[in-house]
Structure 1
Amino acid sequence: MPEFRRGGGNSHRISYLDVAKGALIILLVFAHFRSALNRTDFKNDYFEYVYGWNSIFTCFYMPAFFLISGYCSNFRKDPKTFLKSLLKSLVLPLFALSLVNDTMYALMVTHQDISTTLLKTIKSGGTLWFIQALVIAKVICYSIQKVTDALIIMLIATFVLLIAGVALNQFNLGSNPFYYQHGLVASFFVALGLFLKENQSIYEKALKYCLYSYPLLALINFWRSPNITASLSVSLKTIPLFLILSVCGTLFLIVICKKIKKCSFLEFWGQNSLVVYALHFAPLVYFFKLFYAWIQPISILSFVGALLLLLTTEYMLCYLLMKLFQYKPFKWLLGRY
């Protein structure tokens, strides 16, 4: 989510990748509709029609963020510069936004004691799994590149780590502090993004292939979509399917966004996707409970009305949060100083 820029000292943003991230973060908020529902007592058959098709994009939307991050990363830095960049762009936002997010969740959803909640956040090293996994994945890729510049070796090594991460999770081999198992899986996608950046001919061919192949793959595997979220649903048997869907889905979205080239609305969401990722869920659960208790969606008409009100309010709040984090001192929490 942060640091989606080309390496090598060129700090200009890649517009179509910002567009892709914008589309991804909007889809992420929508996908969490089901997670919000699980935290309420509401039951209605209409809910299935809302999230039933999520597997079309949930199979790739988080791997896409990792791959794009790898594509826009520069690991040819000295250790001091790399560490400074990592602390500023990822570790600082991890702790700062985790504290804000957990405060919001305690106030809006659980109504727990805030001091106790924040103490747990600090002890756990933050509660935003994506950022934790990305930190680990970047450290892994940086360490490998310090040993060898051969990106194919990095791909092979991170693929082995991906298998290890899946196996550790599948067989419950110990706890998963700092989401290191997710980080092992994510390292492959970061490495793949870096590999595609350095091999543009392969990248362009893969984009063309996935433009036509992914829609067919999505239809064939509509109900079978292993994915990586806060709960890793990939098994050793489904790794091939997971990789095919996640990589093809990511490149399918990228090629569509590359054709769009520029879209200021999606670019703004993409450039501020970290804020939305970190802070959208507590308000989503709060609005869900508020609107559905108020409207009582027992008919298709009232259900649609409640759904539209929920999504409109949620996306408007996300937009306001993104605008807020354009100003000091809030943007300092993102390492933008």
Structure 2
Amino acid sequence: MEKSETAMGSKRKHWADVVRGICMTAILYDHTDIYYSDTNVLPYELYVPNALTTFFILSGYLMYKRSGFCLKNKIRSIIKGLLLPYLIFTIAMALPKSLAHGLSFNIADMLINVLSGKASWFVAALFIAEMLFSIAIRLTKGRTLALLAVGTTGLIASMFMPYAGNPPFPWQADNALQAMFYLSIGYAYHKHEETIDGCITSPPLAIGLLSVPFVGIKTWEMYYDVSMTEWYINIDCYPMFLIDTVCGAALLILICKRLPRMRLMEWTGIRSLGFYFLCGGVPLTVSMALQRLGFAYNGCYLTVLPVFLIVYILTAILVWALYKYVPFVFGKWRIKS
């Protein structure tokens, strides 16, 4: 999850880190909004589905290796980079999470929750999606059309899973199948990146053309209150959802590729997994502390912004400490500056 390549070798693609950083910052902001104002004042559909699906696309992008794909190495990397952190963080945070929400704590229930992949839906879904997609890469020998077909099949299957039972499913199977579609898009884009980018002769024109359907669909969703909820999956109109998320991701990537370096977002993107595991606990703790100090949400949405700044700074400090002093919880011994 932490490495990216260029066509010429192992040099980092800074724009990819920026995109991941923006996505994770958006998710952190959403949690701050919810916990501090006790609702989604800024509508969930406005940006959260885009942040989540764009992150999936970037994960698929990073799965393509020009030097060749080794299933054994990739499986090992996924286990170290996703499963190990999932187990460590969800177990370590189970008791504090229960206390913060005023729930009783039971070790047996906690273990069942963790081992069934229900303790952190996003990471569990990404883990299963990457495992399945890695096997698909091996079986299809990385053929683009075959992998896009696999991803589309996963998406279609995820559409019907809510009718098959009550979520959450073990290891977030419905979200994992949906994520495979976005992994396939990211993988295909990386594989044909030079050709696709070469077709964009006028980036401003491309941004304008993508913005028209994106803004139009967002306006429609807000006006008619169209549900685009990712977890549990509750999507009213899949064609709109797909155009929204794919156009949104393409816009963000297109823009970030042409921006000067944004080191703070790069730093956040490189440590995105750490930010995700703390994106619930820190906003909740800060919101509870501010309420007890007499700074509860008063209906003025502008007050959410300084609260988010506090949340981001505290989260960044904790993430920095974790990566510096206990990097093994993220499946690595050290992380470069």
TM-score by length of 2: 0.83
Instruction: Using the TM superposition, give the Cα deviation of residue 299 of structure 1 relative to its aligned residue in structure 2, in angstroms.
Output: 5.2
Counting aligned pairs with the same residue, the percent is 20
Name the residue aligned to 2:63. Answer: 73
Name the residue aligned to 2:78. Answer: 86
Structure 2 residue 178 is the aligned partner of structure 1 residue 185: yes
Name the residue aligned to 1:172. Answer: 165
Partners of 2:229 and 2:128 lie apart in 1 by 15
Q: Deviations over 1:229-269 (max 9, x none)?
A: 3321225xx11111100110111111221121411111111
Aligned in 2, Cα 1:33/1:205: closer, same or farther, shift over 3 Å? farther
Structure 2 runs not aligned, ≥5 long: none
Structure 2 residue 144 is the aligned partner of structure 1 residue 144: no
Kept in 2, the 8 Å contact 1:60–1:246? The answer is yes
Instruction: Using the TM superposition, give the Cα deviation of residue 309 of structure 1 relative to its aligned residue in structure 2, in angstroms.
Output: 4.8
Alignment of 1:150-299 (within 5 A): 150-170=143-163, 172=165, 176-200=169-193, 201-202=195-196, 205=199, 208=206, 211-213=210-212, 214-223=214-223, 224=225, 226-227=227-228, 229-235=230-236, 238-295=237-294, 297=296
Partners of 1:284 and 1:228 lie apart in 2 by 21
Q: How many residue pairs get matched?
A: 322
**Letter paired with 1:334:** F
Partners of 2:145 and 2:274 lie apart in 1 by 34
Alignment of 1:125-140 (within 5 A): 125=117, 127-140=119-132
Partners of 1:123 and 1:59 lie apart in 2 by 26
Instruction: Using the TM superposition, give the Cα deviation of residue 297 of structure 1 relative to its aligned residue in structure 2, in angstroms.
Output: 4.8
Name the residue aligned to 1:57. Answer: 47
Partners of 1:64 and 1:108 lie apart in 2 by 30
Instruction: Using the TM superposition, give the Cα deviation of residue 116 of structure 1 relative to its aligned residue in structure 2, in angstroms.
Output: 5.4
**Letter paired with 1:264:** R
Partners of 1:174 and 1:312 lie apart in 2 by 34
Instruction: Using the TM superposition, give the Cα deviation of residue 218 of structure 1 relative to its aligned residue in structure 2, in angstroms.
Output: 2.5
Aligned in 2, Cα 1:125/1:233: closer, same or farther, shift over 3 Å? closer
Aligned in 2, Cα 1:175/1:255: closer, same or farther, shift over 3 Å? closer
Q: Deviations over 1:78-130 (max 9, x none)?
A: 33222211211111111112223324313433364474564344433462211
Structure 2 residue 324 is the aligned partner of structure 1 residue 333: no
Partners of 1:278 and 1:205 lie apart in 2 by 38
Instruction: Using the TM superposition, give the Cα deviation of residue 170 of structure 1 relative to its aligned residue in structure 2, in angstroms.
Output: 4.3
TM-score by length of 1: 0.83
Cα RMSD, aligned residues only: 2.9
**Letter paired with 2:318:** L
Name the residue aligned to 2:90. Answer: 98
Partners of 2:102 and 2:127 lie apart in 1 by 29
Structure 1 runs not aligned, ≥5 long: none
Instruction: Using the TM superposition, give the Cα deviation of residue 195 of structure 1 relative to its aligned residue in structure 2, in angstroms.
Output: 0.5
Instruction: Using the TM superposition, give the Cα deviation of residue 296 of structure 1 relative to its aligned residue in structure 2, in angstroms.
Output: 5.7
Structure 2 residue 18 is the aligned partner of structure 1 residue 19: yes
Name the residue aligned to 1:312. Answer: 309
Partners of 1:175 and 1:315 lie apart in 2 by 29
Kept in 2, the 8 Å contact 1:226–1:241? The answer is no
Which 4+ residue blocks in structure 1 deviate beyond 4 angstroms? 114-118, 203-207, 223-226, 296-301
Instruction: Using the TM superposition, give the Cα deviation of residue 164 of structure 1 relative to its aligned residue in structure 2, in angstroms.
Output: 0.8
Aligned in 2, Cα 1:10/1:92: closer, same or farther, shift over 3 Å? farther
